[in-house]
Structure 1
Amino acid sequence: MTLSVSAGQAVDLRVQPVEEVLDRVERSLQVRLLPDTVVRKRRSVGARTDRDTWVRVERRSPDKIADQGWNGTECAARLESVAQPTWQGCVVWRDADEPVMWRADETGLLPAAPVGSAVLNEAPELPNEWWEALNASLDALAAHRTRRVATPDTDTITQELVTESIRDVFSGHFDTTVQRWMPAHADLNWANVTAPVFSLFDWEDWGNAPQGLDSASLWASSLAVPALADRVRQERRRDFESRDGRLMTLFACSKILGPYAHPEDPRLAPARRVAEQVIEELQAG
């Protein structure tokens, strides 16, 4: 027995009991999770272990596990020249009482602390070496080849998803056809990178995506800090100046300006302003 939550009910692991799940992870991986280090998120729980590693536990319903599986962290271990924690092993099981799956991945410790939350309200102090490492890792990642398909927010990214996401929020006559697909982390935000030493973690959603998805995602999570957003655009300008990068900018903006937009989100105005500019550029060809 693990969690008593109906299949149709949203689960937030920040408030749901997870003690039995963590006990099972400890037994399966033969490790002890340090209670004072537990970090709880909406659909995952992580903790440091007594052998100086990190374990991340995730809960997903079967319909959110695509044909390629959900072994993103394991598959990312083969990516060369990409700064990330070393993957060491995992345990996966189907819940006995609920139509859900659990997965726990054990990796090396992060080389530094995460920069912050997914969306920043204050500019972090990032040395030039950090930006160089970010660029090197993203460029190396894009140069790899994979059959995986990215699943940002656990949704498989397809041409249809890109078109629907953009058309549901923005009007105007412009083509939404993606031209270049390449490997992307697919969840690049300030909660998934470390500083002052750069490292990129939480690889469960990586796979092929339109060029510029990662750059647009990091930019969107920076919009409350204009100087930081500008720095992201400057560092990743090759992505943002591409046609697909412009589409990914609209894709990122659609998540900010869409039906679930928060009226007090400081990113609303800059996202709307940039979206209007990008639409003009796409219409101009």
Structure 2
Amino acid sequence: MTRLDDADAQYRAWMRENLARAAEHFGVTIDGPAHDGWRLRSISAVVQGSAGRYWLRVLAEQRQWAHGDVWTGNADANDLTGLPKPRVLTVTEWEEGPRRQRAELMTFMPGEVCSPTDVLRQEIELSNAWWAELRRCVDVLAATPTRRVNSDGVKVRERLGQFFGDRVDLGALRWETVHGDMHWNNLLRPDFGILDWDLWGRGPAGTDAATLYCYSLRTPSMARRVHDTFADVLDTAAGRVAQLCVIARLLRRVEQGDHPDLGEPLRRHADSLLPPSG
């Protein structure tokens, strides 16, 4: 075991201690396997309480970053109505060393995630009603006012400039409220549901459709279905900019070691959206 592997194992064990501490605080019992979040930033599990099943999530962050929209996203999403999503019931926070922990006890959403990873790598069966509900929810969210921010103009311009220089028509940018992380591991089936609301807020119009489309590129038949569902969004000037914003964000993730098999499809798709260089 390398030193890095050993450090990860120790951190995972510490996060499991945090999960157990939160369960004891809320008076619930862990009733399933623990699920590590992205880069071990969080840990979650099904828990059992006196009134039934719940979902318990613990987020850990360096103290200087433990604030703001990302820190409170799940609880802030309680204000959203008409969407199939968990509701945060109660929260507790504590500090240990340089990190602050935030535990959220949420309502339990039935069903299973559409993919074990963010990227969809095989075709799955989803009903027409599922696709219709996906579209409805994205539209409802887009029309919901909020002061929360997913991505601002400075961040968008920096991302696009890093990967595409001045080849993107920034004048086509439009803004709406987005989930911000609409990938296949955050969507439930057979009944539609949306998980993980950390990042929701104002962002480029079309972000959610673009995100799901980009995470579908390894399974062309599913990518086509996503495109068909959101063609009137993706095939606009603003939608093309949103796709390039998502591609830039995901290419940065690829460079950091996430989903290496997604890099080439993302680059090919970017080439199809950008004007010829030179």
> Paired residues, what number?
264
Q: Which string of whole-angstrom CA distances, capped at 9 and with x for unpartnered residues, describes residues 202-248 of structure 1?
A: 11111111101111111111110011112111111222123222112
Distance 2:259 2:181 in 1: 23
Change (3 A) 1:14 1:176: farther
The counterpart of 1:163, out of the listed 157, 182, 202, is 157
Distance 1:233 1:14 in 2: 40
One-letter amino acid of the structure 2 residue matched with residue 208 of structure 1:
R
Contact 1:14–1:40, Cα closer than 8 Å, also in 2: no
Higher strand share: 2
State yes or no: 1:219 paired with 2:213. Answer: yes
Change (3 A) 1:69 1:273: closer
> Tell me, which stretches of 5 or more residues in structure 1 are unaligned?
1-9, 151-156
One-letter amino acid of the structure 1 residue matched with residue 200 of structure 2:
W
Q: Which string of whole-angstrom CA distances, capped at 9 and with x for unpartnered residues, describes residues 170-206 of structure 1?
A: 2454432464221111111011110111000111111
Who is 1:188 aligned against?
A: 182
Who is 1:125 aligned against?
A: 125
State yes or no: 1:110 paired with 2:104. Answer: no
Contact 2:75–2:87, Cα closer than 8 Å, also in 1: no
> Tell me, which stretches of 5 or more residues in structure 2 are unaligned?
1-6
* Range with greater deviation from structure 2 (63-72 or 16-25): 63-72
One-letter amino acid of the structure 2 residue matched with residue 274 of structure 1:
H
Who is 1:39 aligned against?
A: 35
One-letter amino acid of the structure 2 residue matched with residue 75 of structure 1:
D
Contact 1:181–1:209, Cα closer than 8 Å, also in 2: yes
One-letter amino acid of the structure 2 residue matched with residue 29 of structure 1:
F
SS of residue matched to 2:105: strand
State yes or no: 1:58 paired with 2:54. Answer: no
Who is 2:19 aligned against?
A: 22
Q: Which string of whole-angstrom CA distances, capped at 9 and with x for unpartnered residues, describes residues 3-50 of structure 1?
A: xxxxxxx9788734324312321232222222x332223211111111
One-letter amino acid of the structure 2 residue matched with residue 111 of structure 1:
P
Change (3 A) 1:248 1:16: farther
Give TM-score, length-normalised by structure 1: 0.83
SS of residue matched to 2:249: helix
Who is 1:252 aligned against?
A: 246
Q: Which string of whole-angstrom CA distances, capped at 9 and with x for unpartnered residues, describes residues 75-120 of structure 1?
A: 1112112111233111122x2312x221111112122101111012
Contact 2:167–2:275, Cα closer than 8 Å, also in 1: no
The counterpart of 1:274, out of the listed 250, 253, 269, is 269
Contact 1:82–1:138, Cα closer than 8 Å, also in 2: no
Structure 1 residue 270, shift from structure 2 partner = 3.0
Distance 2:152 2:9 in 1: 27
Higher helix share: 2
Change (3 A) 1:114 1:263: closer
* Range with greater deviation from structure 2 (69-78 or 138-147): 69-78
One-letter amino acid of the structure 2 residue matched with residue 71 of structure 1:
T
Give TM-score, length-normalised by structure 2: 0.85
Who is 1:5 aligned against?
A: none
Distance 1:255 1:11 in 2: 25
Q: CA RMSD in A?
A: 2.6
Distance 1:13 1:113 in 2: 29
